[in-house]
Amino acid sequence: MINLELGGQLLGLDQLMRSVAINVMRPLSRKYDRQEHDVPVELKVLDRRPKPGSLEAAAAQKQAGAKRDKPKKGEVRNGQAMAAIVSIENMSWGDVGLMLSIPGAGLGNAAINAAGTPEQKQRFGYLYASMAITEPASGSDSASISTTARDDGDAWVLNGEKIFVTAGDRCEAVVVWATLDKSKGKAAIKSFVIEKGTPGMQVVKLEHKLGIRASDTATILLDECRIPKGNLLGNPELAAGGNRAAFGQVMQTFDNTRPGVAAMAIGCARAALDLTIELLAKEGVQLGYDKPIWDASAIEAELYRMEADWEAARLLTLRAAWMADNGEPNSMEASMAKAKAGRVGNAITLRCVELCGSIGYSEDLLLEKFARDSKILDIFEGTQQIQQLIVARRLLGKSSAELK
Amino acid sequence: MTEQPVNPLFDLTLTEEQQLMRDTVRRFAQTELRAASRKSDEARAVPDDFYGKTLELGFQAVQIPEALGGYGAARSPISNMLIAEDLAYGDMSMAIGALSTLSFINTVLDQGGAAQHQALLPAFTADGFHPAAIALMEPSTRFDPRKLKTTAEKRGGSYVLSGEKTMVPFGASASLLLVIAEVQGQGPAAFAVAGSASGISAERESFMGLRPLQLCRVKLDSVEVPAAAKLGGDKPFDLERMVDLCRIGTAALAVGTGQAVLDYVKSYCNERSAFGEAITHRQSIAFMIADIAIELDGMRLLTYRAASRAEQGLPFHREAYLARLQAADKGMKIGTDGVQLLGGHGFIREHPVELWYRNLRAVSLLEGLVSV
């Protein structure tokens, strides 16, 4: 039965995470925007990773190892994927940069969960793992990476330079994408888990950014970095061979994480909208949702249009997560959500600054910060243009060779 | 404000009945609407037997109580929205025509008293098609349903209606019109009036689109109706609720039409070759189509949400407003991009995209024609 409201446990989670955003994150927003690269130690209270060997760890292990059965006919699930959206949206309403700095919530963890074997999940699951894909000469075209992994008997040896590694400094492990043989293209690209402190891996630079300054963005150098054979992520037979499916497996991580980034954009944009509506209400701007749009003031009309775009983005995001929870392939819908949320999230935060004039532009409030933070959400985990490419290929039945 | 929905789970699955009905309506939309769409547009008329055939779908009588000859099913805004979407996929004008009577019935059921149900509804369960319509819109540049110029004056045991309505389906040939008028000092009210009532005159209007539909300018020149014709009696008429339910209907029309555009440009552009390959191999074309799909699904989900809130008895005023707004903005963009993607061919009346373009322009201005 069609229902687009959150209910039950998700509604409870929604309220809980909003209170975390208000009480834990908002008070720290400006501080860590100014103190770029400082570790927000106050967020330790949000680290929900079970300690190795604890009862919670055993339960989590069991859950991670359990094969997720498909929903039975007529069964509807609102599960982990939707819960993640609700959490991320609310925490990003608090502060996107801080949300990205919660220990244990790294993108590398998503990759380990998606592609790791049960044994790897056990070994690496407790680590705060970041993800290293981008290189100085390789961005959206992740199949063109040059970082290499060499088979050296009992070990892999990695060499190369990775940039834009979110949480690359403060994490405990890095999931690194590298090629076994660049001439073999996608089929030779594998991901490897490298624990911090491994000789040969070094953080050489932290970026100074437009926004999400609370989150560190690192350059990582790999110089003859030796790691055990078992650190190659995924089924070793499938992963080590020249199998293109292995690349697909790695890329599938993004089907799960893209709605998450869309949720960040929605949370950040909602924060800007809420504050703008609050400021304008003091000046008598009221939204009754009943004036014909051409009889509303320019500012009201703009707010209505932003609300409509925001709602559409949020519902597209919830749909993508709902499909994941119910075992439906959602690659196209995940990209639709990220495309819409990324662009309207950015447009909304920028417009809110504009509508509030010098008050909006001022560092006294957070509107200008939301407008800086939102830009990256239309870029990382696949830019707007990459999402459109994915949607278009699926929609039109085109291969990457046909629709470049 | 937090309200728990009736259904604790977010869910996008149709019920079995909805799916069955969908399949039937979609087949009907293909054979009876889409197939006749161009010809009807040129002829400014639907095929002779069109309205009679819509009765086979049964959606009009389904919500009328059993005692009055109907099937007594609960009114379902979701089901009605799906019907509007699917019929509009065939043709928006014909969809409005097919749903006009249902919109009248729905509003009477929603806001009328038992005696009015008894008096007005059995006719719609009898044989034959009985055209009916809501007469809300008035001819002006900035029509606002909250500022009606049509008046209803109490005179003894009657009301006297005066004013001018526009875009009224069927006009004077409607067996019943629901005329929305301002009662001085009391706010808006709805009056059920026979199209043939003395003092009513109607003239067929011509618009940029929606041409097969018999849309009329209706003049009400001191039309006297008994007090019993006032819907809901002494209870105030909830115009906002009616308008909101109609905005969901209008948004659904845009969703169906937008889907027609998307499906058409997908296959046309995949087949169309330029510079030695399919034009969909170019990002400028492919990305426009991707954006049509993204915005279309966005406006669809907004519409579904508004309808599902209405169905569950949750407040839906904001959601209906936003759904219609997004449908108007993005729907028109889809319409104009649909023509653009076909280039010069899109401008030629051999292809349907120019027709959808004209019809989608109406989404931002329609009020009160199709209720869910």
Q: Do B55 and B129 meet the contact criterion of CB atoms below 8 Å apart?
A: yes
Contact A308 B322 (CB under 8 A): yes
Strand, coil or helix: what is A335? helix
- Inter-chain contact B5–A395, Cβ cutoff 8 Å? no
pLDDT, residue A8, reads 87
Domain at B16-129: CATH code: 1.10.540.10
Report CB contact under 8 Å: A339, B290.
yes
Domain residue limits, chain B: 16-129, 133-229, 239-364
State the catalytic residue, choosing from A135, A300, A333, A381.
Answer: A381
Q: Which of A294, A312, A392 sits opposite B142 (nearest CB)?
A: A294
Q: Is B123 on the interface with A (CB under 8 A)?
A: no
Q: Does A385 touch chain B (CB under 8 A)?
A: yes
Question: B74-124, pLDDT tens digit by residue?
Answer: 889 999 999 999 999 999 999 999 999 999 999 999 999 999 999 999 999
CB-closest option in B78, B281, B305 to A315: B305
**The pLDDT of residue A41 is above 50:** yes
Fold of B239-364: Butyryl-CoA Dehydrogenase, subunit A; domain 3 (1.20.140)
Categorize the per-residue pLDDT at B5 as very low, low, confident or very high, splitting at 50, 70 and 90: low
**What is the tens place of the pLDDT at every residue in A362-402?**
999 999 999 999 999 999 999 999 999 999 999 999 999 99
Q: Measured between CB atoms, does B284 come within 8 Å of chain A?
A: no
Q: The pTM is what?
A: 0.95
Q: How far is CA A61 from CA A70, A107, A194, in A?
A: 20, 19, 21
Contact A1 B8 (CB under 8 A): no
- pLDDT exceeds 90 at position B284: yes
Burial class (CB in 10 A: 0-12, 13-18, 19+), B354: buried
CA gyration radius for chain A? 22
**A16 Cβ under 8 Å from any chain B Cβ:** no
Among B280, B291, B304, beta carbon nearest to A2: B304
Say how far apart CA B59 and CA B57 lie, in whole Å: 6
Mean pLDDT of A139-155: 92
**Long-range pairs, A12-20, Cβ under 8 A, ≥24:** A13/A83, A13/A86, A13/A87, A14/A86, A14/A90, A15/B2, A17/A86, A17/A87, A17/A89, A17/A90, A17/A91, A18/A90, A18/A93, A20/A46, A20/A90, A20/A91, A20/A94
Nearest-Cα distance to chain A for B209, in Å, is: 21
Closest CA relative to residue B214, chosen from B176, B249, B169: B169
| Of B293, B295, B304, Cβ closest to residue A4 | B304
Maximum Cα interatomic distance, chain B, rounded to a whole number of Å: 78
Over pLDDT 90: what percentage of chain B? Answer: 92
Radius of gyration from C-alpha coordinates of chain B: 21
CA pair distance B228, B189, nearest whole angstrom: 12
Task: Tell me if A352 sits within 8 A of A367, measured CB to CB.
Answer: yes
Residues A322, B9: Cα–Cα separation, whole Å: 10
What fold characterizes domain B133-229?
Butyryl-CoA Dehydrogenase, subunit A; domain 2 (2.40.110)
Q: Which of A2, A7, A391 minimises the CB distance to B4?
A: A7
Consecutive H or E run containing A203: strand A201-206
Is A381 an active-site residue? Answer: yes
Give the span between the Cα atoms of A141 and B292, in whole angstroms.
25
- What pLDDT is stored for residue A243 in this prediction? 60
The answer to whether A7 contacts B5, with C-beta atoms less than 8 Å apart, is yes
% of chain A with per-residue pLDDT over 70: 94
What pLDDT was estimated at residue A237?
A: 62
What percent of chain A clears pLDDT 90, i.e. is strictly above it? Answer: 76
Q: pLDDT tens, A261-271?
A: 999 999 999 99
Q: Do the beta carbons of residue A170 and residue A128 sit within 8 Å?
A: yes
User: For chain B, what is the mean pLDDT?
Assistant: 96
Mean pLDDT lowest among A247-261, A329-343, B56-70: A247-261
Residues 6+ apart with CB under 8 A from A357: none
Question: Is A340 at the interface with chain B, CB within 8 A?
Answer: yes
Positive or negative, the Cα torsion across B167, B116, B230, B367?
Answer: negative
A343 interface with B at CB cutoff 8 Å = no
What's the pLDDT score for residue A248? 73
- Least CA distance to A287: which residue of chain B? B318
List A residues 80-109 in contact with B (Cβ-Cβ < 8 A): 82
Q: What average pLDDT does the segment A144-150 reach?
A: 95
| pLDDT computed for residue B4 by the predictor | 60
**Parallel/antiparallel/unpaired status of strands A129-132 and A173-179:** parallel
- Is A392 an interface residue toward B (CB < 8 Å)? yes
> From CA A386, how far away is CA A401, in angstroms rounded?
15
What is d(CA A161, CA A158) in angstroms, rounded to the nearest whole number? 10
Mean pLDDT of the region A264-293: 96
Separation CA A145–CA A160 (nearest Å): 9
Instruction: Confirm or reject contact between A398 and chain B (CB < 8 A).
Output: yes
| pLDDT at A114 (0 to 100) | 82
Q: How far is B87 from chain A (nearest CA, A)?
A: 19
> What is the per-residue pLDDT across A197-233, written as a single tens digit (0 to 9) for each?
999 999 999 999 999 999 999 999 999 999 999 999 9
pLDDT at B170 over 90: yes
Which residues in chain A have Cβ-Cβ distances shorter than 8 Å to B334?
none
Chain A partners within 8 Å of B280 (Cβ): 392, 396, 398, 403
State the pLDDT confidence band at A66, using cuts at 50, 70 and 90: low
pLDDT for B1 = 41
**pLDDT above 60: residue A278:** yes
Q: List, for residues A234-247, the tens digit of each pLDDT value.
A: 866 655 555 666 67
